[in-house]
Structure 1
Amino acid sequence: MVFIATDRDRAGEKISQELHRIAPKTAQISRHVPKHQKDWNEALQAQIERERQQENQRSRGRGLSC
């Protein structure tokens, strides 16, 4: 199984199609794209921000200030 992580755009679709075209017929290729962001960098930044916000909420709940 080959997993590819591409942007959620036309270029990402194009590279996915090209990999399917050149891969052996027996290859299993699975494309993964970010659910809500354009690319994986934006997805990672959004995840970091969510975790930062959650930590801030937990800290406030314990009476700590940031």
Structure 2
Amino acid sequence: IWVKPSRLGLGHHRESQSISKPPYFSSANYLYWKTKIMLFIQANDLVVWDIIMDSPFIPLKQERELLVPK
């Protein structure tokens, strides 16, 4: 028997668990989306996740003996 997702109370959880398609953002359940987007990014590229977590990266240039923001 097929039951419509809305009848199961899963209306906002209908997106697939695909790693090729990011989860749909819904402000109604931000914590759920936050977890899903975190897992989506980690599954696709851990380097990107590290960049997100270590941000902001400020590019530097050397002027005389000092490193200064570009």
Q: Which has the higher contact order (CA 8 A, sep 6+)?
A: 1
Larger radius of gyration: 2
- Between Structure 1 and Structure 2, the one with more helix by share is 1
TM-score between the two structures when normalised by the length of structure 1: 0.25
TM-score between the two structures when normalised by the length of structure 2: 0.25
